[in-house]
Amino acid sequence: DAGVIQSPRHEVTEMGQEVTLRCKPISGHDYLFWYRQTMMRGLELLIYFNNNVPIDDSGMPEDRFSAKMPNASFSTLKIQPSEPRDSAVYFCASRPPGRSYEQYFGPGTRLTVT
Amino acid sequence: SQELEQSPQSLIVQEGKNLTINCTSSKTLYGLYWYKQKYGEGLIFLMMLQKGGEEKSHEKITAKLDEKKQQSSLHITASQPSHAGIYLCGADIRGNKLVFGAGTILRVKS
């Protein structure tokens, strides 16, 4: 399997623009997680899905952030409008059924908002 | 996460030396997970510990869980340059999701 795939790997955008990050989980995994990593706050869970349904979005910073999972093989995290403080590395991770918390992480998307 | 404290924040060791990284929780642990991250890459799962006193090893890396102390330690024996990276502990303390420590940056000098 190719592992968790994220695109783009790097994104540079101007403040106020819409940003869409994409994730393809490992086939057969039923959980999908979106994380954000910064030097100041470390690795933070934003939202997670189970069988394509959002379960907990309490980590989403504000209404500018939204995430969808239209099917088992694709998820998006959207920021609209983007702000410089959104600059971070965004990770997607997936987890197989019945395997506790052995999450498999994607390579991340490094977002820079100028 | 302030719920998980990792120490030290960073570490520089000479190749061949042993080292220990600690992870302490402010809440009851239901599971402790160690991950390694290389700069610019995602996290790689190392080990999972669930029971007090449990100890697991993978190659030269050993992790232990002291449930009473709500603490875990990661020990690397005879460190190598390939061990360099960021080590993060993650814990199940909120139910069905992980919180992570701030990470420990490890550098190994040849």
Report pLDDT digits (tens) over B51-69.
888 899 988 999 999 877 7
Position A7 pLDDT exceeds 90: yes
pLDDT band at A105 (very low <50, low <70, confident <90, very high): very high
B 36-75 residues with CB below 8 A of A? 40-45, 48, 50
CA distance B45 to A47: 20
pLDDT band at B99 (very low <50, low <70, confident <90, very high): confident
Structure tokens at A5: 């795939």
Give me the pLDDT at residue B95, please.
62
CA distance B104 to B37: 10
Position B93 pLDDT exceeds 70: no
Give me the pLDDT at residue B28, please.
77
Is the torsion defined by CA of B99, B33, A21, B40 positive or negative? positive
Give me the pLDDT at residue B73, please.
95
Cα angle B87-A110-A87, degrees, rounded to a multiple of 5: 100
Percent of chain B with pLDDT over 70: 95
Give me the pLDDT at residue A51, please.
94
Q: A108–B100: do the CB atoms touch at under 8 Å?
A: no
Cα angle B93-B98-B99, degrees, rounded to a multiple of 5: 80
Position B96 pLDDT exceeds 70: no
Q: Please write the tens of the pLDDT for every residue from A39-74.
A: 888 899 999 999 999 999 989 988 999 999 999 999
Tell me the range of B11-15, B37-41, B98-102 where mean pLDDT is highest.
Answer: B11-15
Position B1 pLDDT exceeds 60: no
Out of B41, B90, B99, whose CB is closest to A107? B41
> Which residues of chain A neighbour B99 with C-beta distances below 8 Å?
45
Position A103 pLDDT exceeds 90: no
State the count of interchain CB pairs (< 8 A) between A and B: 52
